[in-house]
Amino acid sequence: MSAGGNGDSGYETIIGLEIHVELDTVSKMFCGCPTRFGEDPNTQVCPVCLGLPGALPVANWKAIEYTIKSGLALSCEIAEFTQFHRKNYFYPDMAKNYQISQYDLPICTGGHLDVETDDVSRRVGITRVHLEEDTGKLIHVGGEGRIAGADYSIVDFNRSGIPLMEIVTEPDIRSPEEARAFMAKLRSILLSLGVSDCSMEQGSMRCDANLSLRPAGDTELGVKTEVKNMNSFRALVRALAFEVERQTKVLQAGETVEQETRHFDAAKNITTSLRTKEYAHDYRYFPEPDLVPIKVERAIVADMAGKLPELPDARRMRFIESIGLGAHEAHLLSDTKPMGDFFEECVDGGADPKAAANWILGELSMHLNATGLEIEDCAVTPKHLTQLLKLLDEGTISGKIAKAVFEEMYETGKLPGVIVDEKGMTQISDSDEIGRVVDAVLAENPKAVEELKAGKDRAIGFLVGQVMRLTKGRANPQMVNDLIKERL
């Protein structure tokens, strides 16, 4: 059973996700203010996103386009007629005390996303994808950092009005691990569409989960809790695993789960009760009269569908079927767009696909992890790797040397050819030259020679190693091997 599962408790875990994604548009959802992150408080604002009296919203078509694209990528139905509604509730981070959102006519409905985990592949239904505006940010001073008990609170409206795409799934997810896999896949799709930077840490991708348990085999849903404040994939898995365990205990004790909102505390790895549903808001949704309903022309949708970039799933299949990669490598390389692009550039440049895949997933990924860099930010480009693979393939350098060259080019950004020339790392493939060293090594190591003759194959490794040592790794290892065998 995967992490966080409820094993043999006899309960089935039911999870539905509600994901908010800040769209990467230049301007806000309903005004022309910039969406830049990290600017001084209340500097990216205007009468509209401050909710000043008399100001009116104008919808940002780019955000609608991004939402349609996302919907298409999630196999959704794109509405022909869509409308914004007002969601009414009072909170100081809401400039107008209503949020312009969508209600019964969202832009996208009824899609799905197939998710693989170690155990299973599952189709997760997408209920809807809609568009709304983000709120401002509250900072509570004094007390415990929450609004209750704070001495005072201050508001930054820079975030107010940033386009927010909400994706709601069906309760089709069956474990915290699956929830993580869903989020990871969704993220890679949205990244390849270029609609958001999808950073959970910076809050441009946020996720709430509805989680309930039911006796295995039951068809009715149990009482759910809503879990909030999961700011990383890790937090998501941990919070949900905790919640599964907590609800299991409650049910096993013969008690009932209370319907409530729970807050994940990442420091303690637990969820705590935030508020019960008794205080559920009546949002008094009604059509936003300041915006005209939107007719989405079919031709525009068809055009967008035709222009969608290749999505991770399709790319993975192509890597397997046309390029001949194994399923695992193909999955890893297609998961994020930059990694896949890097790989394809290498192949287009003439690199052997399998070798390129091995180097990207091995040496390069290891270095990226160690230095905390993204593939597009590091000094090694597809051109570097392709050249390195060529040097290897031609026998100019050995595999061992190649690793040293990689190290150097990762650090300096120099092309491998340059590094090899500068340091005289060219592989020795001259059999006379290698032969002389082999002779010397055999003469110096009579014991190993005896062992080899006696049939101990292990000894050949030692002898090859000695030749490599003396040639500073530059001798062609296959030739060394052959020459030793020849001489005995």
Partner 1 sequence: MELNELAISRLFPMRVMNQTNATQICEAFLAQIEGRDDKIKAFLHRVDADEVLEAAAAVDKHAAASSELVPLEGMPVALKDNLCTIGMPTTCSSKILKDYVPPYNATVVDRLADQKAIVAGKVNMDEFAFGSSTESSAYQVTANPWDLSRVPGGSSGGSAAAVAADMAAFALGSDTGGSIRQPASFCGVVGLKPTYGLVSRYGLVAFASSLDQIGPITKNVIDCAAVLEIIAGKDPADSTSVDREIPSYTGKLNGKIEGLKVAVVKELMGHGFQKEINFALDNAVLLFEQLGAQIEYISLPHLEYALPAYYIIGPAEASSNLARFDGVRYGHRTADADDMLEMYMKTRAEGFGAEAKRRIMLGTYALSAGYYEAYYGQALKIRTLIIQDFEKAFADHDILLSPTCPTTAFKQGEKLEDPLQMYLSDICTIPANLAGIPAISVPCGVASGLPVGLQIMGKHFDEVTLLNAAFAFERAFGWNLKPMFRDPSAKEK
Binding positions for partner 1, rule: CB under 8 A? 47, 50-59, 86, 88, 90, 92, 95-98, 147-148, 153, 155, 282, 284-286, 289-292
On the CB side of 480, how many CA atoms lie within 13 Å of its CA? Answer: 25
8-state DSSP, 275? E
Q: Closest approach of Cβ 119 to partner 1, in Å?
A: 41
Distance between CA atoms of 444 and 434, rounded to whole angstroms? 15
Cβ count near 41 (within 10 Å): 15
**Residue 445 identity:** N
In 3-state terms, what secondary structure has residue 337?
Answer: helix
Ordered DSSP codes for 6-39: -GGGSEEEEEEEEEEEE---SB-SSSS-B--SSP
Q: Closest approach of Cβ 313 to partner 1, in Å?
A: 38
**Please, are residues 278 and 244 in contact by the beta-carbon 8 Å criterion?**
no
Which CB, 49 or 183, lies closer to partner 1?
49
Distance between CA atoms of 459 and 452, rounded to whole angstroms? 5
| Phi-psi label, residue 429: left if phi above 0, alpha if psi -120 to 50, beta otherwise | alpha
Which CB, 157 or 406, lies closer to partner 1?
157
Which CB, 54 or 372, lies closer to partner 1?
54
Q: Closest approach of Cβ 103 to partner 1, in Å?
A: 11
Distance between CA atoms of 314 and 472, rounded to whole angstroms? 45
Which CB, 47 or 309, lies closer to partner 1?
47
Q: Closest approach of Cβ 31 to partner 1, in Å?
A: 9
Q: Closest approach of Cβ 347 to partner 1, in Å?
A: 48
- Residues ≥6 apart with Cβ < 8 Å to 436: none
> Side by side, which strands form the sheet with 121-133?
77-78, 108-116, 121-133, 163-169, 11-22, 205-215, 225-228, 260-265, 270-276
Cβ count near 211 (within 10 Å): 27
- Residues ≥6 apart with Cβ < 8 Å to 52: none
Q: Closest approach of Cβ 144 to partner 1, in Å?
A: 14
Task: Please provide the size of the chain in residues.
Answer: 488
Which CB, 43 or 412, lies closer to partner 1?
43
Name beta bridge partners: 156.
137
In 3-state terms, what secondary structure has residue 158?
Answer: coil
- Residues ≥6 apart with Cβ < 8 Å to 469: none
Q: Closest approach of Cβ 292 to partner 1, in Å?
A: 6
Which CB, 85 or 474, lies closer to partner 1?
85
Which CB, 90 or 253, lies closer to partner 1?
90
Q: Closest approach of Cβ 45 to partner 1, in Å?
A: 10
Which CB, 289 or 306, lies closer to partner 1?
289
Q: Closest approach of Cβ 96 to partner 1, in Å?
A: 5
Which CB, 7 or 47, lies closer to partner 1?
47
Which CB, 50 or 63, lies closer to partner 1?
50
On the CB side of 191, how many CA atoms lie within 13 Å of its CA? Answer: 20
**Residue 441 identity:** V
**Please, are residues 209 and 38 in contact by the beta-carbon 8 Å criterion?**
no
Longest distance between any two alpha carbons in the chain, whole Å: 97
Distance between CA atoms of 237 and 130, rounded to whole angstroms? 25
Distance between CA atoms of 112 and 126, rounded to whole angstroms? 5
Q: Closest approach of Cβ 170 to partner 1, in Å?
A: 24
Q: Closest approach of Cβ 311 to partner 1, in Å?
A: 33
Q: Closest approach of Cβ 262 to partner 1, in Å?
A: 22
Which CB, 50 or 368, lies closer to partner 1?
50
Which CB, 294 or 470, lies closer to partner 1?
294
Of 390, 284, 297, 386, whose CA–CA distance to 343 is shortest? 386
